[in-house]
Amino acid sequence: MKFVNKFGTINVLYPTGNFTKKTIGLSMSGGADSTMLCILLAKAIQEKGKKLDTIIQPFSGYDLWAPLDSAGLPEIITFIKSEFPDVQINWPISVVFDTKGDHNKDKNKYIIPLEHQLAKNRLINCIISGISRGPELEDQLTFNVKDKRCAIQRIPGYRLWNEVSKQPDELAPYKHVDKRFVIQCYKDLGYKSLLEKTASCTHPAGNCGVCWWCEERKWAMNAVFNKDT
């Protein structure tokens, strides 16, 4: 199913992909990107009807050091399930860990083994990534990032971006768009109240306003809502 706004075009459940009777693994942190991707997947599945019979299986990593990062996920999943009652969206499967604020402790060391176990036990058939392309470098350089542990992100050379860029389009629908596209979807589809329940910050107190993730979100919100956030 194609979704278009002024910031780009994406295909969800890509026409060339075989998702019939499959369970899609979707990493959900309670952030804006993965939440909207879950909605778009549900809309695409609903559009196809029961003949598609595709299931969404969210999974997540819960960092005890930053509990607010995923605190809103149960409410988000509850809302999406109520919006799409004919689509099977399972409750998230989570791995719990504690980085103790050490950015050298890569969350993927915990989340990737969970992905492998889900696949090994046939709980998922594929994983669709919700990572977007990210702002242009010149835009990122304008970010007022006071927390320097995660400065310029989502550019070629950054590991997570490299992983997504190598994925086929059907498994990485956001790979050609940035966060402005995602935020515009909330506006166009009438989900601004849900957007306000999402959290992009991984600081223990949440919404720190000084990390890269808060700056990226503010940049996209300003572009879509003309600073009326």
The neighbour count for residue 103, using CB atoms within 10 Å, is 11
The arithmetic mean of pLDDT across residues 164-189, rounded, is 93
Q: Which domain holds residue 72?
A: 2-135+157-200
Q: Give 228's pLDDT tier (boundaries 50, 70, 90).
A: very low
The arithmetic mean of pLDDT across residues 73-84, rounded, is 96
Q: Would residue 95 count as lying in a domain?
A: yes
Q: Would residue 147 count as lying in a domain?
A: no
Going by DSSP bridges, is the β-strand pair 23-27/8-11 parallel, antiparallel, or unpaired? Answer: unpaired
Least confident among 9-13, 38-42, 69-73, 215-219: 69-73
Q: Would residue 76 count as lying in a domain?
A: yes
Q: Would residue 90 count as lying in a domain?
A: yes
Query: CA-CA distance, 6 to 11, in Å (whole number)?
Result: 15
Residue 21's CATH number = 3.40.50
What is the residue-wise DSSP string for 147-203?
-GGG-S-SSTTSHHHHHHHTS-GGG-TTTT--HHHHHHHHHHHT-HHHHTT-----S
pLDDT of 16: 59
Q: How many structural domains are present in the chain?
A: 1
pTM tops 0.75, yes or no:
yes
